[in-house]
Every structure is written in structure tokens, then in C-alpha cells.
Amino acid sequence: SKGYRQRVGLAQALLGDPETLILDEPTIGLDPKQIVDIRALIKDLSGKQTVILSSHILPEVQMICSRVIIINEGKLVAAGSIDDLSGSRGKGFIVTIAGPPGDVGLAVEKLAGVLNVSVRHEAPADGTVRLEVDIEEGANPRKELMRLLVDKDWELVELTDRRLGLEDVYMKLITEQKRGETDGDEKK
């Protein structure tokens, strides 16, 4: 099976105890248990050796790697720790509020420092709406949000900081790269 070949290939690569191990899509073709085992092995190896992992499975990269390099169409797009990349690309929070869904979204959108509000989920049965709120760098509209909730007599159900996953970071970076290339073409 492909999973067996993957494991044998990894074992062969480890025989010489190399300083640097290069792995290309190491979990492709494995069953879920084997995937978990290989991920754990890679994390363990990274404490002893340099492991370079090439993969299109970004949630897996996020689970395994401490640093990433994003390359698109042969061009370096970004490099750094996952925390640095996700923190620099997505400031904001997710809030769940019990109140009239249309009114809640519009009111939150008007808060100082808010760039964009997206409805993630509406639950008419319990009268709640879950919003994803993008904020300006350095802005903190949470106090103003609390005043709004008190003034409107709406209930705060949940408020959590939002950090983008690696897939979200990748999509934003690629979009920015394409936008930059398009802008460059227009200036010629």
C-alpha cells in the first residue's frame, strides 16, 4: 500500500541519522492513525534534526511546524513563525451577542476601529448572532462594544480573540500578491 511505502521511505531516510531531513507530503496515503503517528514522529525529530516539510495540507503544516516559508509560483511570499504570520494578517475578534441580528451587526460595524463585520452564524431560535470583527492595527473597540451592549440591553454570549489559521494567512497572502502584480501591470 502507499501508506506502507511512505513509512518505509521515512525509515530509510532516518537510517543515516541525517542533520537535515526533507519530507515531501509525508502523510499522503496514510490512514488516520498512521497520520497521527507520523506527525508525532516529525515533531519529535524536529527537536534533534532540521526537518524541511513540503506540503499543500496547511492545517497539517500548522500542527507540525514552528516556522513556515510560503512560496507561490516560484516566488517567496512570506516566511516566519506561524504566530507571527497569523498575527500580522488578522487582527480582530469573534463575538456572539443575543440581540436582533440585523441591528447587532450594523451597530458593531459603527464602533471606532472596526474595519469589517461578517456574520458567521445566526441562531433565530435563541436570538443570537455570531460576528467576525476585523479591527485596525492598534485599535481596541472592546470597551465601546461593552457600552453598546449595556445601552441596547443585549447579552454578550462569547468574546474571543481571532487568530487566522495558516490556510487563511495563505489565501490573504496570495490575494495580496496577485493584487500587487495586477497593480504593477497597470502602472506599466
Q: What is the pLDDT of residues 49-95, one digit of tens each?
A: 999 999 999 999 999 998 999 998 888 999 999 888 876 555 789 99
Q: What is the pLDDT of residues 111-147, one digit of tens each?
A: 999 988 988 888 877 889 999 898 887 888 999 999 9
Q: What is the pLDDT of residue 155?
A: 96
Range of the domain at 136: 90-161
Task: Choose one of 55, 86, 117: the last residue of a domain.
Answer: 86
Whether 60 and 72 map to the same domain: the answer is yes
Whether 107 and 67 map to the same domain: the answer is no
Residue 111 lies in a domain: yes
Whether 75 and 12 map to the same domain: the answer is yes
Whether 82 and 97 map to the same domain: the answer is no
Whether 82 and 95 map to the same domain: the answer is no
Q: Can you give the CATH number for the domain in which 29 is found? A: 3.40.50.300
Whether 101 and 38 map to the same domain: the answer is no
Whether 59 and 108 map to the same domain: the answer is no
Q: What is the pTM of this model?
A: 0.62
Residue 71 lies in a domain: yes
Overall domain count for the chain: 2
Orientation angle between helical segments 142-152 and 101-109, nearest 10 degrees: 140
Q: How far apart are CA 141 and CA 116, in angstroms?
A: 12
Whether 73 and 130 map to the same domain: the answer is no
Q: How far apart are CA 107 and CA 149, in angstroms?
A: 10
- Strands lying side by side in the sheet with 155-161: 114-123, 128-135, 92-98, 155-161
> SS3 sequence, 79-139?
EEEHHHHHHHHCCEEEEEEECCHHHHHHHHHCCCCEEEEEEEEEECCCCEEEEEEEECCCC
Q: Can you give the CATH number for the domain in which 103 is found? A: 3.30.70
Q: What is the pLDDT of residues 7-49, one digit of tens each?
A: 788 888 889 889 999 999 998 888 899 899 899 989 988 888 9
